Structure 1
Amino acid sequence: RLFDTLASVYIKEEIDARRVFNMDETSFESSKKSHRVIAFRGSGNVWSQEVHPSFHLTIVACGSADGLVVPPVFILPGKTVRLNVMANCGVSGAAVAMTDSGFMNTTLFIRWLAFFASSVPATTPRPLVLIMDGCSSHYSSEVITAACELSILLVCLPANSTHLFQPLDVAVFGAFKSKLRPLIHSFISEDGNYTIDKENAIRLAGIAWENCNFPFNVKAGFKSCGLFPLAKEKMEESLGHYQRNGTPKDLGIAAWLHVKTVVQQELLVLSPPREKSKTRTTTTVGDRLLTHQLLLQIAAEQEDERTRKRQVKADARKRINKRQKRVEEATV
């Protein structure tokens, strides 16, 4: 269905690589309440701590199949921000936004669509095709209205498939994070800090952004995912690789999987439930210290008690039977 949708749009609007974009969000680093300690296995003296920010920073990325990179937007939590928060960000045209949680929401996404449209050169023909995931903040009547006014065609990827068909996930974010991690560790060693403030987080993210070869990687991502040039074979290859969990095509199915299939198709008859024994096999410990001999003694006492109770019940049944017999004889 994704292939058919894109094929229809590409043909109808005569779309070229300059007009196809992918948008997604990633995080700077997860905010953690617990602390991790990094050490060599077997070390008896551990004190190094893993750095983490005290807030959530979302980075909005977008790039085209032609290698055009839209400046990033950094989303911070809260309502106010320092005036110099972007002073050390080396990415030209980058912007910062605020939400209560630090994540994208519908209102901000509508504002981002206008930012995106203004970032694409006016010489690029419209409409633009924007491929994205189906996050709730990306899809609403207000979003569709804003996109129509800006001449943007929105295409949502199938659920749970972004790791297969989203160019940013496939080819860009991995390279970005691989550049960002060493910068974070260098920040630790230079300043001796174990947390990062907002200004430095944006500064480090900007450096990683500039050095992750975004234009080349996003072009390769579009091609690898089969989104542009549109290639159904590559889409099916990605899906098949996922369904096989990365195993080779010629790998045989394990014996237990065959057995599992048979079990699923056959009717299984369960054995009747086992009757529970009323014999007590436990004892109350209380304040006692129970040795093996004492446990044997308790077990023997319990058995004697059960025998006595059975005898009492048997005697009671005999008396009832005799009483009923006398009543019947008197009636006759």
Structure 2
Amino acid sequence: MVFPRKKFNPRMTDGAPHGTLEVVSDSGWMTRELFPSVVKHYIKQTSSTTLIILDNHESHLTIERITLAKENGVIILTLPPHTSNKLLPLDVSVFFSFKAFYNTALQTWLLDHAGIPVTIFDIARCVNYSFENR
């Protein structure tokens, strides 16, 4: 696998899986303004009733977002503060293999680009490799 680095006008989503939504805030954190676009994108990508498990970050918990999800067959479950690392079964069952593939992709990237630090613009390609191979 080769992870080329785009030289001009890179985007965070270059090399990401098809359909990836790019949202960015100045702080790097999810905001009340950005989260509705994430929910709408998620709804567009799914075709049946689904469950989203979220921490209880303030950007997630508004009547508008909960109503939008409910009207579109999305069930939102929020976890108590500071417990997501203990209560998310996907970390063990699903994401474990994804993380292993991501680590392999990242090690390959580092070998292909010796001495060059990984940036936010390089992560999407590693994620895409992991997503395709999970």
1:210 match: 132
Larger radius of gyration: 1
Indicate if the aligned counterparts of 1:130 and 1:155 stay in contact, CA closer than 8 A: yes
Match of 2:13 among 63, 86, 94: 86
Indicate if the aligned counterparts of 1:187 and 1:193 stay in contact, CA closer than 8 A: no
Indicate if the aligned counterparts of 2:21 and 2:38 stay in contact, CA closer than 8 A: no
Match of 2:99 among 158, 177, 195: 177
2-side partners of 1:170 and 1:109: how far apart?
26
Q: Any residues of structure 2 matched to 1:25-36 within 5 Å, and which?
A: none
Q: Secondary structure at the match of 2:36?
A: helix
1:146 match: 68
Match of 2:21 among 90, 95, 118: 95
| Aligned residue type for 2:40 | A
Q: Secondary structure at the match of 2:96?
A: helix
Tell whether 2:121 aligns with 1:199. yes
Provide Cα deviations, 1:27-82, integer angstroms capped at 9, x if missing partner.
xxxxxxxxxxxxxxxxxxxxxxxxxxxxxxxxxxxxxxxxxxxxxxxxxxxxxxx4
Higher strand share: 1
Tell whether 2:57 aligns with 1:130. no
2-side partners of 1:201 and 1:149: how far apart?
34
Normalization by structure 2: what TM-score?
A: 0.73
Describe the shift of the 1:183–1:131 C-alpha distance in structure 2 as closer, same or farther (beyond 3 A): closer
2:45 match: 119
Normalization by structure 1: what TM-score?
A: 0.34
Greater relative contact order: 1 or 2 (C-alpha under 8 angstroms, separation 6 or more)? 2
2:5 match: none
- Unmatched runs of 5 consecutive residues or more in structure 1: 1-81, 213-332
- Unmatched runs of 5 consecutive residues or more in structure 2: 1-8
Q: CA deviation at 1:180?
A: 1.7
2-side partners of 1:190 and 1:153: how far apart?
42
2:6 match: none
2-side partners of 1:209 and 1:115: how far apart?
18
Q: CA deviation at 1:149?
A: 4.0
Provide Cα deviations, 1:143-190, integer angstroms capped at 9, x if missing partner.
224334434332222344323432333323332222222322222222
Indicate if the aligned counterparts of 1:86 and 1:199 stay in contact, CA closer than 8 A: yes
Indicate if the aligned counterparts of 2:14 and 2:124 stay in contact, CA closer than 8 A: no
2-side partners of 1:156 and 1:174: how far apart?
22
Q: Secondary structure at the match of 1:130?
A: strand
2-side partners of 1:83 and 1:200: how far apart?
9
Q: Secondary structure at the match of 2:59?
A: helix
| Aligned residue type for 1:97 | V
- State the 4+ residue runs in structure 1 displaced beyond 6 angstroms: none
| Aligned residue type for 1:92 | H
Provide Cα deviations, 1:244-286, integer angstroms capped at 9, x if missing partner.
xxxxxxxxxxxxxxxxxxxxxxxxxxxxxxxxxxxxxxxxxxx
1-side partners of 2:95 and 2:27: how far apart?
22
